[in-house]
Amino acid sequence: MNALVHAPHLFPVLDNELQVGGMPLSRLAERVGGTPFYAYDRRLIAERVAQLRAALPDAVHLHYAIKANPMPAVVQFMAGQVDGFDLASGGEMKIALDSPMPAHRISFAGPGKSAAELRQAAAAGVVVNLESEGEMERLAQAAQSLGLRARAAVRVNPDFELKSSGMKMGGGPKPFGVDAERVPAMLARMKALPLDFQGFHLFSGSQNLKAESLMEAQRNTFALARRLAADAPGPVRLLNLGGGFGIPYFPGEQRLDLRAVGDHLAGLLPQARKDFPEAEFVLELGRFLVGEAGVYVTRVVDRKESRGQVYVVSDGGMNHNLSATGNLGQVIRKNYPVLVGNRVAPETGAAAAVVNVVGPLCTPLDLLGDKVELGHAREGDLIAVLQSGAYGFTASPTAFLGHPPALEVLV
Ligand SMILES: *Cc1c(COP(=O)(O)O)cnc(C)c1O
């Protein structure tokens, strides 16, 4: 069956139909009231959090990086699952502050924060992860004019890389964070400003499936933070170790060995507690928490042949799920796991023929399945694109070609 050549996925199949939110997909589509839609499954998110808690030492807290999936209902739900949130914009700050998560458990990273965003963060009591010396001065001005002290941590651009990451965000010249060698001077200046030093934020990369690479980065992170803490204006209260935990998207990809990462962290903790006796240790994860809990669902509107190839045309594609079409930073396009969600295997028992699943946009980039074994798909069927819970809805060019946006449900 086609599903076997895909990356592993978490949604159960019952009576040949994908079950999402404990319901057959065709029934869920009726409940939602239309296609295309995204559905995010609470049970799968909660299970993922539970797996993390079981694998990681208790002293390591979990933050959710909202940019992975900022749907307000998801963020509300996550407030009851994790220990804190990480934001990357004022828009995300609004969603986070509407949730039950207390402001002091929320941190705000990202280059180019506006004066208004810094002022809001200072007023809210959110921890600002400073991305530059200039930003530190602007945050201090905001605090000054509000007559309060703002919570500030320094985002450090480390002098090491997170190897084998889908996206490298630290090491070498980067727009993110302050180069490690510049941090001592910055900390010296911070002493004179109305800022309460919280600690350090080191985020070195994303979408990593190699436990060894993550372990090495975590070792390096503790060592670098130890060096930097010598110049800090106060004790380190918050040490954000970054994250970067990846999920399998493509055939042949293996799940991250969470146990190995957790055991290794547990081994680093006794020394870390001595080095940072007042610190809370944090991992900030986005896609690892929500990516596998989401499915993007389109309906087949046409099936056509062109010179020996079959095209299954569905009512949504890159306009809603850019990443699944291979257009969000991938160097080589590969298929996300795609299924006929309402009839996973062909009823005949025969292997399905090879077809291409495309979206409705007039561009060859709008390709959800390149030569996939979904030959049994016919008009009216539901195409399910798995691993779509992160960087889907809000990471896509929804206005491109003017189709309506996808619906979104948390089930
Ligand atoms: C994007 C981002 C994350 C989340 O990355 P994932 O790959 O989704 O886990 C976490 N922290 C920072 C600073 C980020 O920019």
Among 285, 300, 315, give the residue marking a domain's end.
285
For position 204, which CATH number holds?
3.20.20.10
Q: What share of the chain is helix, strand, coil (3-state, %, to 5)?
A: 35, 25, 40
Ligand 1 within 6 A of 6 CB?
A: no
Task: Looking at the structure, tell me whether residues 237 and 117 fall in a common domain.
Answer: yes
Task: State the total domains in the chain.
Answer: 2
Ligand 1 within 6 A of 291 CB?
A: no
Burial track 264-274 (b if 16+ CB lie within 10 A, e otherwise): bbeebeeebee
Task: Looking at the structure, tell me whether residues 151 and 239 fall in a common domain.
Answer: yes
Q: Are strands 355-358 and 367-372 parallel, antiparallel or unpaired?
A: antiparallel
pLDDT tens digit string along 262-276?
A: 999 999 999 999 999
In the chain, the amino acid numbered 154 is V
Question: Residue 4 pLDDT > 80, yes or no?
Answer: no
Task: Looking at the structure, tell me whether residues 273 and 252 fall in a common domain.
Answer: yes
Report yes or no: 96 and 66 within 8 Å, Cβ to Cβ: yes
Ligand 1 centroid, distance to 305 Cα (angstroms)? 41
Tokens representing 223 are: 């060592």
Ligand 1 within 6 A of 286 CB?
A: yes
Task: Looking at the structure, tell me whether residues 114 and 244 fall in a common domain.
Answer: yes
| Residue to probe by mutation, ligand 1, list 62, 66, 67, most atoms within 8 Å of CB | 67
pLDDT tens digit string along 278-312?
A: 999 999 999 999 999 999 999 999 999 999 999 99
> What percent of the chain has pLDDT above 70?
99
Give the confidence band of 201 by pLDDT, cuts at 50, 70, 90.
very high
Question: Residue 39 pLDDT > 90, yes or no?
Answer: yes
Confidence (pLDDT) at 5: 60
Task: Looking at the structure, tell me whether residues 178 and 131 fall in a common domain.
Answer: yes
What's the rounded Cα separation, in Å, for the pair 180 and 170? 10
Distance of CA 406 to the CA centre of its chain: 19
Ligand 1 within 6 A of 247 CB?
A: no
Ligand 1 within 6 A of 68 CB?
A: yes
Confidence (pLDDT) at 299: 98
Least confident of 155-164, 185-194, 283-292: 155-164
Ligand 1 within 6 A of 256 CB?
A: no
The ligand 1 atom nearest the CA atom of 391: 8
Question: Residue 41 pLDDT > 50, yes or no?
Answer: yes
Ligand 1 centroid, distance to 302 Cα (angstroms)? 38
Give the confidence band of 1 by pLDDT, cuts at 50, 70, 90.
very low
Helix axes 72-79, 90-97, angle to 10 degrees: 50
Question: Residue 329 pLDDT > 70, yes or no?
Answer: yes
Among 255, 285, 315, give the residue marking a domain's end.
285
Q: Are strands 167-168 and 205-206 parallel, antiparallel or unpaired?
A: antiparallel
* Residue 62: inside a domain: no
Q: What is the mean pLDDT of residues 203-213?
A: 94
Ligand 1 centroid, distance to 317 Cα (angstroms)? 24
Give the confidence band of 7 by pLDDT, cuts at 50, 70, 90.
confident
This model's pTM is above 0.85: yes
pLDDT tens digit string along 94-108?
A: 999 999 999 999 999
Closest alpha carbon to 291 in 10, 86, 3, 4? 10
> Where does residue 175 rank: exposed (0-12), middle (13-18), buried (19+ CB within 10 A)?
exposed
The ligand 1 atom nearest the CA atom of 88: 15
pLDDT tens digit string along 43-59?
A: 999 999 999 999 999 99
In the chain, the amino acid numbered 298 is T
Confidence (pLDDT) at 2: 42
What's the rounded Cα separation, in Å, for the pair 225 and 239? 8
Report yes or no: 24 and 17 within 8 Å, Cβ to Cβ: yes
Distance of CA 68 to the CA centre of its chain: 3
Task: Looking at the structure, tell me whether residues 199 and 141 fall in a common domain.
Answer: yes
| Residue to probe by mutation, ligand 1, list 210, 284, 323, most atoms within 8 Å of CB | 284
* Residue 309: inside a domain: yes
For position 36, which CATH number holds?
2.40.37.10
Distance of CA 351 to the CA centre of its chain: 35
What count of Cα atoms within 13 Å lies in the side-chain half-sphere of residue 123?
13
Confidence (pLDDT) at 244: 95
* Residue 366: inside a domain: yes
Three-state SS string across 225-243, please?
HHHHHCCCCCCCCEEECCC
Q: How many residues does the chain have?
A: 411
Confidence (pLDDT) at 352: 80
Ligand 1 within 6 A of 288 CB?
A: yes
Ligand 1 within 6 A of 109 CB?
A: yes
pLDDT tens digit string along 115-125?
A: 999 999 999 99
In the chain, the amino acid numbered 176 is F
* Residue 51: inside a domain: no
Confidence (pLDDT) at 3: 42
What's the rounded Cα separation, in Å, for the pair 51 and 45? 10
Work out the number of other CB atoms within 10 angstroms of the CB of residue 143: 24
Nearest residue by C-alpha to atom 8 in ligand 1: 286
Ligand 1 within 6 A of 211 CB?
A: no
Q: What's the domain range around 360? A: 3-40+292-410
Closest alpha carbon to 376 in 336, 341, 342, 340? 340
* Residue 52: inside a domain: no
Q: What is the mean pLDDT of residues 378-398?
A: 98
Ligand 1 within 6 A of 243 CB?
A: yes
* Residue 81: inside a domain: no
Ligand 1 within 6 A of 207 CB?
A: yes
Report yes or no: 88 and 64 within 8 Å, Cβ to Cβ: no
The ligand 1 atom nearest the CA atom of 109: 13
Closest alpha carbon to 1 in 370, 352, 383? 352
Ligand 1 within 6 A of 64 CB?
A: no
Ligand 1 centroid, distance to 66 Cα (angstroms)? 8
Ligand 1 within 6 A of 203 CB?
A: yes
Q: What is the mean pLDDT of residues 31-49?
A: 98
| Residue to probe by mutation, ligand 1, list 45, 49, 52, 86, most atoms within 8 Å of CB | 86
Backbone angles phi, psi at 136, to 5 degrees: -60, -45
* Residue 168: inside a domain: yes
In DSSP terms, 302 is beta-bridged to 313
Confidence (pLDDT) at 311: 98
Query: Bigger pLDDT: 80 or 351?
Result: 80
Task: Looking at the structure, tell me whether residues 365 and 383 fall in a common domain.
Answer: yes
Report yes or no: 113 and 128 within 8 Å, Cβ to Cβ: yes
pLDDT tens digit string along 215-237?
A: 999 999 999 999 999 999 999 99
Ligand 1 centroid, distance to 335 Cα (angstroms)? 23
* Residue 28: inside a domain: yes
Q: What is the helix (H) or strand (E) element at residue 19, kind and residue range?
A: strand 17-20
Report yes or no: 150 and 194 within 8 Å, Cβ to Cβ: yes
Q: What is the mean pLDDT of residues 354-376?
A: 97
The ligand 1 atom nearest the CA atom of 129: 13
User: How many Å is the Cα radius of gyration of the chain?
Assistant: 23
Distance of CA 230 to the CA centre of its chain: 32
Task: Looking at the structure, tell me whether residues 278 and 312 fall in a common domain.
Answer: no
| Residue to probe by mutation, ligand 1, list 206, 238, 241, most atoms within 8 Å of CB | 206
Task: Looking at the structure, tell me whether residues 139 and 211 fall in a common domain.
Answer: yes
Task: Looking at the structure, tell me whether residues 322 and 273 fall in a common domain.
Answer: no
What's the rounded Cα separation, in Å, for the pair 127 and 184? 20
Among 285, 303, 326, give the residue marking a domain's end.
285
What's the rounded Cα separation, in Å, for the pair 200 and 188? 15
Task: Looking at the structure, tell me whether residues 201 and 316 fall in a common domain.
Answer: no
Task: Looking at the structure, tell me whether residues 184 and 267 fall in a common domain.
Answer: yes
Q: What is the DSSP string of 117-178?
A: HHHHHHHHTPEEEE-SHHHHHHHHHHHHHHTSPEEEEEEEE-SS--TT-SEE-SSSS-SSSE
Ligand 1 centroid, distance to 2 Cα (angstroms)? 31
What's the rounded Cα separation, in Å, for the pair 128 and 199? 10
Give the confidence band of 171 by pLDDT, cuts at 50, 70, 90.
confident
